[in-house]
Structures are given as C-alpha cells and as structure tokens.
Amino acid sequence: MRKKVDFLVIGSGVAGLCFALKAANYGKVCMVTKAKVDDTSTKYAQGGIAAVVYQPDTYEKHIQDTMIAGDELSDRHIVELTIRESTARVMELVEWGVDFDKTKNGKFALAKEGGHSEFRVLHHKDITGLEIEEKLIIAAKQHPNIEILENHLAIEIITQHHLGIEVSRRTPDITCYGAYVYNPNTNKVETILSRITMMCTGGIGTVYGNTTNPTIATGDGIAMVYRAKGAVNGMEFVQFHPTSLYNPKESPSFLITEALRGAGAILKDENGVEFMSKYDKRGSLAPRDIVARAIDNEMKQKGCDHVYLDATHISKTEIFNHFPNIYAKCLSIGVDITKDMIPVVPAAHYSCGGIKVDEWGESSIINLFSSGECASTGLHGANRLASNSLLEALVFSHRACLKAVERFKDIDFCDDVPEWNTEGTVLNEEMVLITQSRKELQTIMCNYVGIVRSNVRLQRAFDRLEILYRETEDLYKKSILIPEICELRNMINIGYLIIKHAMNRHESRGLHYSLDYQGHRDESQSTHDLL
C-alpha cells in the first residue's frame, strides 16, 4: 500500500500531538505510533512543566537555572528563546483543556524542583503528563485532518539511499520523502510518502534494563535518522532519575517525582541519616546528575541495593492532595509514605542527546523535523533541568510547525520510491535469539555505561556490543520483519552511539562522569558535534 500525506508524524507524545494539532489546520496529517496512541513517555511524566508565570520569577532566573543544570554546555540562544516562549506555550495547553492545579484564589499552584531557584512548575497532582496526553488526544481525534495509525512501527525514513543514490554524512542535501511503516494488520511494510516528516519517537531508556521509561522507549527515531546519515548529538548525556521506586519485580520502574523532594522529602541512608549535604549545599534538591551520583556512591560504599526518601514529615493533606498516585503505588507494595520511608534507586530516565536540530526543529536531513526527547535542540546541554522536557517539546513542535507550513506546498512527492524489498527473507522462528540479545545489551549498558564510567568500561562495552551488532544485522537481513527485531536493531544502534560519544568526550561533565577525567574539563569538546 502507498499513502500520501502532507505531514507524517512519527510518535504520539506531547511533541507529536502538538505538531499534529497545529499542522492539521493547513493540510492532511498522518500520525504513526507503534503502540496505542496514549502509550508514550509523556503519560509517565509526573512532576510537571516549568514556565515563568508569576513574579518574583523571571525569564532570566529560569534561563540561568537551565544553564547551570546543563553544566554550561546548553546553547544559550536556544535556552533564551525556549524560556521566553514558555508562558505562551503553557497557555495553549490550558486552551486545549489541560487542567493545571490551582490555589484557592485561582492562581496556578506552582511547585519547586531540583535546580530551580523559584516555584515555577505547573502540575496536575502527580500525573501531569497523563493529563496533558489525554486532553491532546481528545483534540487530535476530533480533528478531521488527523489520521492516527496505532500499532504501526516506522522501520526506516525514506531518503535518496532508497532510490539507489549513495549518500554519506557529508552529503549536503539528504532529503526525507516519508517512511516505510510496518502494518500489523497486513504483516507488511507499507510506504507513506510525505512532504514533511516530524520525528517524535521519545526516549531510549529501554536500552538500560532499569528505567522509568515505558517499554516502547527503544530509541527508534534516533536510530533511523542515524542510519539515514543524519546528525546525532550529545548521546553520552543519559539522565538517571535519582528516585525510582525500588521494586525489582516491576518493569518499567515506577518514578517518584522530584516534586516530592520539592515538597520537603529528604534522601537518607539505611540508618535514617541524611547524606546529600555531604555532596552539595542544595541537599536533596541538587540537580539530578549530582543526586544520582551521590546515591550511586552511597550504595557502593555501603553495599546496599537502595537508599530511602523520607516524606513522613510532610502533612497527610499535602500527600493526599498532591501525590495521590505515589501514595497509592507505594501502599500497594506495603509502604505507607506517611509513616514509612520510600526505598528508591536511580534509573535511566531521559536522553539529553538525540537528533540534532536547529532553532526551528529542523534536522540535517531536508524536510525532516524532530521534537521531544528524541531531538537534541541544545536546551539541556550536559544535564536536563527538571520539568524542562515537556516545555521543550511544546516550544519546538510549535516552531517546527511554523517553518513546515511555510514550505510544504512547494514540496513535491517523490513517486520514484520503491516498495519495501522482502526478496530472500524468511519468517524467523528464533525469537529466543532476539530476547536474549536484548537482555545482553541491557546488561552491557547497565554494567559499563551507567552513572559512572571509565575508559576501560566503555571499551569493554564497545567490544561486546560489536558482536551483538553483527549477529543482529545478519538476522535482520535474512528475516521477514517483525517489530521485535526492528526494536533490537534500533537499541543496538543507540547503545553504540552512547558508547561512542562517551568515548570521544575526554572530560567529566554533567551526566557523563568518567573515573579517568575527574575534575578535568576538555573545553575543545564542549561544542564538538559528534556524529
């Protein structure tokens, strides 16, 4: 089957939905999502969205907090335009029906999280992402110009390569014509041609075994763009959320929002002793990279599997009103957070790197835009400031739409694109190989490319991953495609990018902490575009 649309949106989180809702006012939009439309990382975002809405907060304060959290590796121009557009983008969410919590006098109830100097985080209890996702999905389903294809997996973006033209990372005019998409209803890979393609596939957390991300977060968009010779940047900066609920039987890990620490919860060791003040004057509200490393160090020094988050001194009223989901979840495993400390452990949470885009969300590939976690805009630098992710998605999806609608009518469809070639492939029954390779990859990444790294660990990870890569590529070429093998292939590509970028950064900075470069900053690396 061959479909033609004005705008192809891959992914259905806040970035994809925001772009789709705006682009649909100008042309036909097809949204492809590999699971259900609401199965996204957005849905799991608990804390909220950071924006300047009331004094004494100012744009300059938010800009400075973002630069500090990013270890001065953030692009200041990008930080400034994002923060200055924050208020308008948040008000659009309100217009779409998003119900942010308010105080008795009708003002937004703002929270304060790690790294923020002011109360500026808008939220809906402790399920902000779910609230945003639900309201945007309602709007998208009601729009006559938006078609949503659930359980459809994008396999590759279509470029000159598929027309038999050789391209490289130095080719200046690589162009995207759409994507090849697996349709579960026909068990075939179908062709969707588009004038503009928007990549919003979310994160990479499943590359690590212990993650707060949903299982669909396998880095598909970043891997597709990398294979298409597009620019990918900053993949060494993987954020580990300091406080996921310690519950080894559960995957993904349940997130204990940073807003709970903003409300006064304190990190303590197994003896109930506060320890963060040893590492940073901001204590439990230090930026996430500092807190995650501190917890990792405490666990290694004391040989324990987790530390604790103590919220017992917070009033029951505040717990029940602002953190009902966390209270109920902890209670389900026998922890009453009004009386008991919460066992927590760091978990892979967010990729600060991704598809390199400009201030309009456009990638190095012509007619391909990207927004959300899979994009690298320059906002986060070496470490993302809490609750800046939803904001970034809104700002860059808006800006990408402005640029896309300027030009889409002047873009012709490429009718020379061939159908997906399945010649010589067979149905592969070796599912055990895929499952086992996935586990091996996660073990490699957790053991050698985690919160603390070294040259030896990275080289060991690289060598082991190379074997998995060769085996998987051979399996991929011979097999009729199924989503599992495509996801494994993408995860291995992502693992490679994280390792390679980490090996090329000869310093400890933000989320990339190396035992070989402690206290050393190689300034020549600070703005280097690693492909």
Q: For the chain, how many residues are written? A: 531
3-state DSSP percent of the chain in helix, strand and coil, to 5? 40, 20, 45
3-state secondary structure string, 355-395?
Answer: EECCCCCECCCECEEECCCCEECCCCCCCCCCCCHHHHHHH
The strand pair at 146-149 and 29-32 is best described as parallel
Cα 471 from chain centroid (whole Å): 27
H or E stretch including 165? none
- Reported for 528-531, long-range contacts at CB under 8 A and 24+ positions apart, including other chains, are 528/504, 529/231, 529/233, 529/356, 530/232, 530/233, 530/234, 530/235, 530/236, 530/500, 530/501, 530/504, 530/505, 531/169, 531/231, 531/232
**Residues belonging to the active site:** 288
Q: Which residue has the tokens 């907090």?
A: 65
Question: CA of 250: how far to CAs of 71, 126, 291, 472, in Å?
Answer: 33, 20, 23, 27
Radius of gyration of the chain (CA): 22
- At 183, the amino acid letter reads N
258 with 47: CB under 8 angstroms? yes
pLDDT in tens, the chain (531 residues): 799 999 999 999 999 999 999 999 999 999 999 999 998 989 888 779 999 999 999 999 999 999 999 998 999 999 999 999 999 999 999 999 999 999 999 999 999 888 899 999 999 988 999 999 999 999 999 999 999 999 999 999 999 999 889 888 888 899 999 999 999 999 999 999 999 999 999 999 999 988 999 999 999 999 999 999 999 999 999 999 999 999 988 888 999 988 899 899 999 999 999 999 999 999 998 888 889 999 999 998 999 999 999 999 999 999 999 999 999 999 999 999 999 999 999 999 999 999 999 999 999 999 999 999 999 999 999 999 989 999 999 999 999 999 999 999 999 999 999 999 887 677 666 678 889 999 999 999 999 999 999 999 999 999 999 999 999 999 898 888 889 999 999 999 999 999 999 999 999 999 999 999 976 555 433 333 333
Q: Is 447 helix (H, G, I), strand (E, B) or coil?
A: helix
337 with 312: CB under 8 angstroms? yes
CA distance 197 to 67: 30
H or E stretch including 307? strand 307-310
Torsion, CA 114, CA 42, CA 256, CA 513, rounded to 10: -60
CA distance 217 to 221: 10
Check the CA dihedral 446-447-451-457 and report its sign.
Answer: negative
Cα 188 from chain centroid (whole Å): 28
Q: All domains of the chain, ordered by start, with CATH? A: 2-236+352-410 (3.50.50.60), 243-346 (3.90.700.10), 431-480+482-521 (1.20.58.100)
176 with 159: CB under 8 angstroms? yes
Angle at the Cα of 234 from the Cα atoms of 500 and 8, rounded to 5 degrees = 110
CA distance 526 to 511: 13
What is the phi/psi pair of residue 295, to 5°? -65, -45
